[in-house]
Structure 1
Amino acid sequence: MSASQIMAEFDDARLEDPAALARADEVLRRVAGAGARIRIEAEKSAEPIASLEPTKPRAIIAVGTEARLVRAMLEPTCPVPFVAWPRHGLPGWVGPLDLVVVMAPEGGSPDLVATVHEGVRRGCMLLIACPPGSAIAEYAGSRATTLLPTCTGDPLAVAVQMFHALSRLGLGPDVDPQQVADAMDKVAEECSPFVDLAINPAKDLALALADSQPLVWGGSVLAARAGRRVAEALRAASGRPALSADADELLIVLDAASSRDPFEDPFEQVVSDRRPVLLILDDGLGAEAVHVARNRLIAMAEGRDVRVSLISHHDGSEIERYAALLATGWFAAAYLEVGLTADDDFDRR
């Protein structure tokens, strides 16, 4: 995102302009192709996953890309202790009774390769998703290793296959990659550039966020995880701040928002004056505390004249809802960038 794009005014006409949308074709196609990438990875890893049998390790240690997403999915139901390990190496107690889960869709860093090598040296069971010709695949060879070959480089598509494998092992909830892909395809249809702004949820959301500072909140563990990913996409698309945080932290930011001046000139607005917009990611999951926190956020926003926008997906499994929330947010970020980009130098993320 260039400095000129950061300072550009949002033009909603670009969201219906074929030329402007054509400049964003690569980004929009990448988001729309998420379901297809899940199917490609499912076909690639079908054989090794089919060979898996239920097992019960002493503990599971997840490392690499999306380790925290694996934790968010498994912790509520996993029958054994689970650790998402963000650092180089493995905890000192890890050994042959433990399962090390590794996702490295792009082949992995030298530190991750060394961590896998350490797991092999200690005799751990390893479940690894990575390209067949990568350094991690080379160092992971052992009788206790199951390799899920990957080819798309898409972290979410690879994570879906890992969840499918873990469900086959009896260590996580049932996950059907085809249903997750269908959920993302449905979002791609609803948010297509060929769907009019009036009925396109992603274009409508981009319009709501056009001149604002997004405050993103998801109540359930997975919705909160999606919120962080959506905030990252919004920052990359606009070059502006976008905050994803817990309810208590967002309440402080909302409370500090001054009431809107009905006489202010929107054309004289500067970056520091951008008002917050509360973006809620709702997957219909979570305990009563989630509903209480949501009501508090909405009440505070309404009391400060802060707009509230919603991405809501209540159908399907937990991972289907997560994927749908994420896809909608990604489309909105793409349209936000379209609206802020006036020239032919569209920054392809």
Structure 2
Amino acid sequence: MPDLAFEPERLDDVDHLERTDPGGVLREVASSAARVRMAQRAAAEAGVDRLAREGRPRAIVVAGVGPGALAGDMLAAVCGYGVPVAIATVRSPVLPGWVGAADLVMAVSRSGAEEETVALAAEAGRRGCGLLAVGRRGSPLEDVTLRARGIFVPVPAYDGPPATVWDLTVPLVVATGALGLVRGVPEACEAAARRLEEVAHRCRPASESFINPGKSLALELADTVPVIWGSYPLTAAAARRFAGALHTHARYPAIWGELPEAGHTQIATLDGPVAEKDIFAEGPGRTLRLVLLRDTDENPRTVRCREAATRIAEERGVPVSVIDAEGVHPLERLAVLVGLCDFGSVYLALGYGMDPARMAAIAEFQAGATQ
């Protein structure tokens, strides 16, 4: 692979953006609001309200890998600490031994063909668990779910690699709303969609970098190693999504974590060799950049941790970016963070002249892992 250099002027060259993004990843990210509304409608049409007939489960187990598992993290973030039901995400191919007939398993796989997720759904059916699945029509996951008399929510087919996670996450949120675990879900979905529309307008390709928050974020991240921290469960889920989007869209390394835990481990990297920038080196050089995702619903202890991390980074000359959540409902605030970070990751790829839809290594791994 040739040496790739980030060229800031590319971000304001609309022709370049179109040429380098033949799969339309920017358009896909801009359609996030539509994806939220479509997913809400698909969940309702699939009859997720039937879950309420079985009563509240002892626990909700979200089974998946990659974006499917992330949907579980985002669900837990929306539900928050006060939810009276345990919510666990399982990323392994084995269903924990404690999961039984009193629990609800949500199996999430966009393709519906990931072996790990299909196997977990089948095991959930054998154990008599409640089963809700999200995936592609005609897939092995749909077959397993229907044989277990579960509820299947279909996701739309994509021409290229999907760039958002809303089609996987929103059905889970709608389901927990039907169970009475999250209040005001229909209104929250619409509020989140409106926020995503606002983000898409501000981050549109024709908007120049100095007023475009998605392009500005890409400019800040270029030639750095981002260390992305959330300071609350909601922002931690967004941080994980941001790191994953940087990996897939821009093939870019990133570290994510959650305060206060990150302050006891990852913060040590601020004293390491990557954090030291050589002022005599030609070009921009490479250094860490601390990215803090901030929520309005934070306790005083969390605020002190975030402020301490900011001070320590600034004292060591490590640049800091802060991204604030906006909105009332947790789903709405999550939408603001994820929407902006998705645009930032795509613009970073385009600034390096890379097609954000090209995921050769992931495809090779998936092919090799299923042989």
The one-letter amino acid of 1:49's match is V
Q: Deviations over 1:279-320 (max 9, x none)?
A: 111222322222111111110121112221122222132122
Structure 2 partner of 1:46: 44
Name whichever of 322-331 and 137-146 sits farther off. Answer: 137-146
After TM superposition, give the deviation of residue 77 of structure 1 in Å.
2.6
Q: Which residue of the partner structure matches residue 146 of structure 2?
A: 141
Contact (CA 8 Å) 2:276, 2:287: kept in 1 or not? no
Unaligned runs of 5+ in 2: 359-371
Determine the structure 2 residue equivalent to 1:302.
314
Aligned counterparts of 2:86 and 2:256: Cα–Cα separation in 1? 28
1:278 aligns with 2:274: no
**Cα shift at 1:259:** 6.2
Give the aligned partner of residue 60 of structure 2.
60
Partner of 1:252: 268
Pairing partner for 1:168 from 160, 174, 178: 178
- Specify whether residues 259 and 42 from structure 1 end up closer, same or farther in structure 2 by C-alpha distance, changes over 3 A only: closer
The equivalent position to 1:213 in structure 2, one of 215, 225, 230, is 225
CA distance in 1, matches of 2:128, 2:192: 34
Alpha-carbon distance in 2 for matches of 1:259, 1:82? 40
Among 126, 130, 133, the alignment partner of 1:128 is: 133
Post-superposition offset of 1:228: 2.0
| 1:8 match | 4
1-structure distance, mates of 2:95, 2:80: 19
**Conserved 8 A contact 1:77-1:172:** no
Is 1:87–2:62 an aligned residue pair? no
Structure 1: distance between partners of 2:136 and 2:356: 28
Q: Deviation of residue 238 (structure 1)? A: 4.6
Distance in 2 of aligned mates of 1:241 and 1:81 = 32
* Structure 1 residue 110 corresponds to structure 2 residue 106: no
Paired with 1:101 and 1:259, the residues of 2 have a C-alpha distance of 44
Q: Are 1:198 and 2:210 an aligned pair?
A: yes
2:79 aligns with: 74
Partner AA of 1:254 in structure 2: L
Backbone CA RMSD of aligned residues: 2.5
- Does the 8 A contact of 2:189 with 2:331 survive in 1? no
Assess if the C-alpha contact under 8 Å between 2:326 and 2:332 holds in 1. Answer: no
Partners of 1:347 and 1:172 in 2: CA distance: 34
Does structure 1 conserve the Cα–Cα contact (< 8 Å) formed by 2:277 and 2:286?
no
Name the residue aligned to 1:150: 155
Q: Separation in 1 of the partners of 2:215 and 2:344?
A: 6
Amino acid at match of 1:18: V
What SS does structure 2 have at the residue aligned with 1:10?
coil
For residues 182 and 117 of structure 1, do their structure 2 counterparts lie closer, same or farther at Cα, with a shift above 3 Å needed? same
Q: Residues of 1 paired with 2:266 and 2:98: CA distance?
A: 38
Work out the CA distance in 1 between the residues paired with 2:356 and 2:101: 47
Deviations 1:170-227 (A, max 9, x none): 1335433222222211111111111121111111111112222212111111211211
| 1:104 CA drift (Å) | 2.2
Write the distance in 2 (CA, Å) between the matches of 1:81 and 1:242: 29
SS of alignment partner, residue 198 of structure 1: coil
Equivalences, count:
337
Q: In terms of mean alpha carbon deviation, does 170-179 or 37-46 score higher?
A: 170-179
Partner of 1:98 in structure 2? 103
Give the conservation status (yes or no) of the 8 Å contact 2:43–2:174: no
- Alignment gaps of 5+ in structure 1: none
* Helix, strand or coil at the partner of 2:270: helix
The aligned residue for residue 23 of structure 1 is: 19
Q: 1:348 aligns with which of 345, 357, 361?
A: 357
Q: Check conservation: 1:214, 1:241, Cα contact below 8 A.
A: yes
C-alpha separation in 1, matches of 2:127 and 2:177: 25
1:125 and 1:60 map into 2 onto residues whose CA distance is 9
Tell me how far apart the structure 1 counterparts of residues 251 and 319 of structure 2 sit (CA, whole Å). 21
Matched-pair contact (CA < 8 Å) for 1:255–1:300: no
Distance 1:177 1:282 in 2: 21
Which of 1 and 2 has greater Rg? 1
What residue identity is the alignment partner of 2:48? I
Q: Is the contact between residue 33 and residue 194 of structure 2 (CA under 8 Å) also seen in structure 1?
A: yes
Describe the shift of the 1:265–1:166 C-alpha distance in structure 2 as closer, same or farther (beyond 3 A). same
SS in 1 for 2:52: coil
Q: Which of the residues 312, 321, 325 maps onto 1:313?
A: 325
Measure the CA separation in 1 of the matches of 2:317 and 2:148. Answer: 61
Worse-matched range after superposition: 36-45 or 327-336: 36-45
Larger displacement relative to structure 2 (324-333 or 65-74): 65-74
**Contact (CA 8 Å) 1:217, 1:247: kept in 2 or not?**
no
**Deviation, structure 1 residue 323:** 2.2
